Chain A
Amino acid sequence: MFESRSGVFLIAGLGFFGLSFLVMAVLPWAIYYKEPEQTVEQLAARGIIPEFVDLAERYPEQFKQYFGAPTYATYVEALRLGHQVYVAEACWHCHSQFIRPVSNEDLRWGPVSHALEYQNELQRPVLFGTRRVGPDLSREAGRRSNDWHVAHFWQPTSVVPSSVMPPYRWFFDGQGYPNKRGLAVITYVQFLGSWLKEYPYFHGEGPLGPLPAPTPADAPIARGATSGETDSVDAPIVGAATAGVLP
């Protein structure tokens, strides 16, 4: 094999395979050094979604037991755990996370997905998905209430009669309140899409908006101080609601 000069080509050929592998690891870094992948902490620094605070108010005992207070630290923890649960249950096999520019998808779900939306820790590996049995979730933030999600995770057909989603009873404790995984996964789902400018469609004024003041990382967030509670119904809902996706 190596005795002849043509062995060079054999080695070169195999060498190229190795090189391609190296390139695949090195190039992304070279391209993205200006747009580094965001950590969950950086994502959370944009503002806590009001649904997280809402969960703390709705299930005070459970929230206190599993997370404590709704702070940035616990928000980060909930997002990480929620993402982990989302992957473990293979939610992404039936729910995609990207909006295509065709097939009226922007009318149904919201703005078309952009590559930079995926440049963060919660999209590693990326959760595009390849099948939509249930709706796309990348614009899910604030679209439905926490109550709806709790009922839906407990028994999907109770809110969507023709749903084929399995009930996730193990997201709940013995009394039927969401446990740590349940709270986390609802936080994660309510977070998906909250980074968009258009997010206030569903919320009046958006997540927490710009932070009111430099807050210590573990200070609890008061609800009234931050989130806009105004006319969420009359907010300019385009496309999505008229398309009939609201339950």
Chain B
Amino acid sequence: MTQASAAAVPKEPPATSDLVDVRLVLWHFTAGMVFLAVAILAGFLFSLQFIQRYPVAGIELFSPGRWRMVHTNGVAYGFLANVFLGALYWAVPRLTLRPVYSRRLSWFIFFAWQAVVLATAVGLVLGHAQALEWGETPVYVDPVALLGLMLVAVNFLAPIFQTSGPMYVSLWYFIAAFIWTVLVYAMGNFLPQYFVGGAAAGAIGGLFIHDLVGLFVTPLGWGLMYYFVPIILKKPMWSHGLSLVGFWGLAFFYPLTGIHHFLYSPIPLFLQHGAVITTIAIEFVVTTVIINFFGTLAGRGDTLRTNLPIRWFYTGMVFYFVTCLQCSFQTTLTFQKIIHFTDWVVGHAHLVMLGVFGFWLLGIILYLWPRLVGSNAWYSDVLNSWHYWLTMLGTLIMFLDLLVAGLIQGYLWRDLSPWEDSLRASMPFWLVRTFSGVMITVGQFMFFWNCYKSWRLGAPAGAPRREPSRGSMAPATA
């Protein structure tokens, strides 16, 4: 509240064990990885349908369309949400020097959220889906999920609002994310189902698809990056002022961009133009953030080689810049004519969800896991390296492959070739997609195995460490 913000740091900060419930972080990460495994396998299974090799065809409970929804929802609500929560339970108390509102509430949220995700998966497989993209959660799960999100907000906002003085940019992002997520989830799941019908609901659906990425995943992801990158590099951000510009830019521009998902739809054109303008403005915001992070890295480029979490983070940031650049092109009406409805969009979605936010979260797990399980080192650095390269190359191949496939489909459609031509032309690309999916899947399972072995290596969480850090997990300054 005053300029004298040095007072914000107490002389004797509380011990970490009072701040962070290490087991909770560990459990959230574990749950996140379990759901990631399920979601990835579901995605792999669904990709086999596209090359006419679906192994369990004709069985109702393995209906590919249903497992596609398990794939997307598993990634969004099972993997991303869980690992986000775990990382927040670590970052927020350490940023504010105050524990979360209630430890018991935290555990309740943990179990409630797993129940929500499980109920969603089971509901989808049984055919209780809701016709809302990224919100297929059965209608009976929606209120519970919303309640869970509200409790999450209370749990984290309590320590944040107790701090005084200028806030660090991560906390800004977190505050916004908690409030936005609740509102966006309610908007996307309830309004089109109960209040709004027809094309107006289409506009809301477009907002929801985009705002889920922009107002739930993006602020949490960037908030965590603004925390983890400086502490791993042991170097302050290049410019805090610039990061705040980025935050407020996001706040002012993001909300209306979502309609660009339905350009040329029965939603009137002038509104679609508005969405295009804000989307391009968002590109400026993205550039500020990218400048800031690479400004921070400047002079420490060697950490990209020596420090694996940093490598994950910055790979994600490069991909982030690519997706956003792609975004500002693909929302123009010229691009939309061709790429809408094609695999281009699917490639874009994979790059965002896995290539950016998935990578960041994997980097965070990579950094924290040895500390959480008490092993203080990874079972195998070689496996971690393989994990990185397989996942990175798999994602890159999938992205480029679907990009090209999308263009081919778009042009074939425009040129009025028979519909089957577009299928035949896509088949080789879908085959490549499946193989890149195999790379990603194998990479993840290597990582899971490594996590398990490291956990076996470590003493129960909180016990004194057994051996010094080694290999790529060593602090960046070593």
Do A and B have CB atoms closer than 8 angstroms in the complex? yes
A151 partner residues in chain B, CB cutoff 8 A = none
Cα A31 to Cα B415 with chains together (Å): 39
Min CB–CB distance A132 → chain B (angstroms):
4
Segment among B88-96, B258-266, B444-452 that sits at the interface with chain A: B258-266
> Which residue of chain A has its CB nearest to the CB of B255?
A20
Given contacts A37-B198, A89-B63, contact A103 B338 (CB under 8 A): yes
CA distance A107 to B417 in the complex (A): 12
Closest to A14 in B: B179
| A interface footprint on B49-90 (CB within 8 Å = 1, 0 otherwise) | 111101001111001111011000000000000000000000
Residue of B132, B186, B200 with most partner-chain A CB within 10 A: B200
Whether A87 contacts B131 by the Cβ 8 Å rule is yes
A166 neighbours in B (Cβ, 8 Å): 49, 54, 57-58, 63-65
- When the two chains form their complex, are residues B414 and A132 in contact, meaning their CB atoms are under 8 A apart? no
Partner-contacting stretch, out of B103-111, B122-130, B375-383: B122-130
Which of A25, A116, A130, A245 makes the CB contact (< 8 A) with B196?
A25
Contact flags A103-120 to B (C-beta < 8 A → 1, else 0): 111011000011111111
Minimum CB distance partner of B189 in chain A? A125
In angstroms, Cα B77 to Cα A44, docked, is 39
Which residues of chain B are near A102, meaning CB under 8 Å? 264, 336-337
- Return B455 CB to nearest CB of chain A, in Å: 36
Residues of chain A in range 152-198 having any CB-CB distance to chain B below 8 Å = 157, 160-164, 166-170
Would you give the shortest CB distance from B71 to chain A, in whole angstroms?
A: 11
Cα separation A20 to B49 with both chains bound (whole Å): 42
- With a cutoff of 8 Å between Cβ atoms, the chain A residues found around residue B127 in the complex are 88-89
Bound form: Cα–Cα A24–B255 in Å = 13
* Interface residue? B341 (CB, 8 A): yes
Q: How far is the CA of A126 from the CA of B57 in the complex (A)?
A: 28
Kindly state the separation between the CA atoms of A101 and B333 in the bound complex, as whole angstroms: 12
- The 0/1 profile, CB within 8 Å of A marked 1, for residues 9-33 of chain B is 0000000000000000000000000
Q: CB-CB < 8 A to B58: which residues of A?
A: 166-167, 169-170
Kindly identify, within residues 1 to 44 of chain A, every residue whose CB is under 8 Å from any CB belonging to chain B: 1, 14, 17, 20-21, 24-25, 28-29, 31-32, 37
A184 to chain B, nearest CB (A): 13
Indicate if the CB atoms of A115 and B52 lie closer than 8 Å: no
Q: Give the total of A residues in contact with B, Cβ under 8 Å.
A: 66
Choice from A25, A115, A132 contacting B342 with Cβ under 8 Å: A132
Give per-residue flags for B187-202: 1 if the beta carbon is below 8 A from chain A beta carbons, else 0.
1000111011111111
| B198 partner, pick from A17, A21, A89, A118, beta carbons under 8 A | A118
- Classify the secondary structure of A's interface with B: loop
Q: With an 8 A cutoff between CB atoms, is A235 at the interface?
A: no
A1 in contact with B129 (CB, 8 Å):
no
- Asked whether any CB of chain A lies closer than 8 Å to the CB of B142, the reply is no
Say yes or no for A96: interface residue by CB 8 A criterion: yes
In the bound complex, how far is the Cα of B348 from the Cα of A19, in angstroms?
33
- A100, B265: Cβ atoms under 8 Å? yes
In the complex, A145 has a CB within 8 A of chain B: no
The listed residue (A17, A20, A108) touching B416 by CB distance below 8 A is A108
Query: CB distance A101 to B264 under 8 Å?
Result: yes
Q: Which residues of A contact B65 (CB under 8 A)?
A: 89-91, 93-94, 166
State the interface size on chain B (CB cutoff 8 A): 71
Given A113-B265, A125-B193, A163-B423, do A90 and B187 touch, yes or no (CB 8 Å)?
Answer: no
Which residues of A have CB within 8 Å of B64?
166
* Shortest distance between the CB of A140 and any CB in chain B (Å): 12
Contact A100:B340 (CB < 8 A) given known A21-B186, A126-B197: yes
Contact A118/B199 with A14-B179, A103-B338, A125-B130 known, Cβ cut-off 8 Å: yes
A72 within 8 A of B: no
Cα distance A199–B183 when bound, in Å? 42
CB of A57 to closest CB in B, whole Å? 28
Report yes or no: A245 in contact with B179, Cβ–Cβ below 8 A: no
- Is A160 touching B264 in the complex (CB atoms < 8 A)? no
| Pick from A25, A89, A243: contact of B66, CB under 8 Å | A89
> Please, how many angstroms separate the alpha-carbon atoms of A37 and B337 in the complex?
30
Q: Any chain B CB within 8 A of the CB of A58? A: no
The answer to the question of A92 belonging to the interface, with a C-beta cut-off of 8 Å to chain B, is: yes
Are A162 and B424 in contact, with the CB atoms below 8 A?
A: yes
Complex: how many Å from CA A25 to CA B186? 11
A245 CB to closest chain B CB, in angstroms?
A: 6
Q: B252 near A: Cβ within 8 Å?
A: no
A28-B195, A162-B427, A164-B52 in contact; A125/B201 too (CB < 8 A)?
A: yes
The smallest beta-carbon distance between A189 and chain B, in angstroms, is 15
B458 interfacial contact with A, CB 8 Å: no
B419 within 8 A of A: yes
Q: Is A98 an interface residue (CB 8 A)?
A: yes
A216 located at the interface, meaning its Cβ lies under 8 Å from any Cβ of chain B in the complex:
no
Asked whether any CB of chain A lies closer than 8 Å to the CB of B237, the reply is no
Check B54–A244 contact: CB distance below 8 A.
no
B residues apposed to A, CB below 8 Å = 49-52, 54, 57-60, 63-66, 68-69, 127-133, 136, 161, 179, 183, 186-187, 191-193, 195-202, 204-205, 209, 261-262, 264-268, 336-338, 340-343, 345-346, 410, 413-420, 423-424, 427, 430
The 6 closest A-B pairs by CB, nearest first: A88-B127, A90-B65, A100-B264, A118-B198, A132-B341, A125-B192
A89-B127, A103-B338 given. 8 additional CB < 8 A pairs?
A: A90-B129, A104-B415, A119-B199, A127-B131, A128-B265, A132-B342, A164-B50, A169-B58
Query: Please, could you name 30 A-B residue pairs with CB atoms under 8 Å apart, sorted by A?
Result: A24-B191, A28-B196, A28-B197, A32-B197, A90-B66, A90-B129, A93-B69, A100-B264, A100-B265, A103-B410, A104-B413, A104-B414, A104-B415, A104-B416, A108-B413, A108-B416, A115-B199, A118-B201, A125-B205, A126-B199, A126-B205, A127-B131, A128-B262, A129-B341, A132-B413, A160-B420, A161-B420, A164-B50, A166-B57, A166-B65
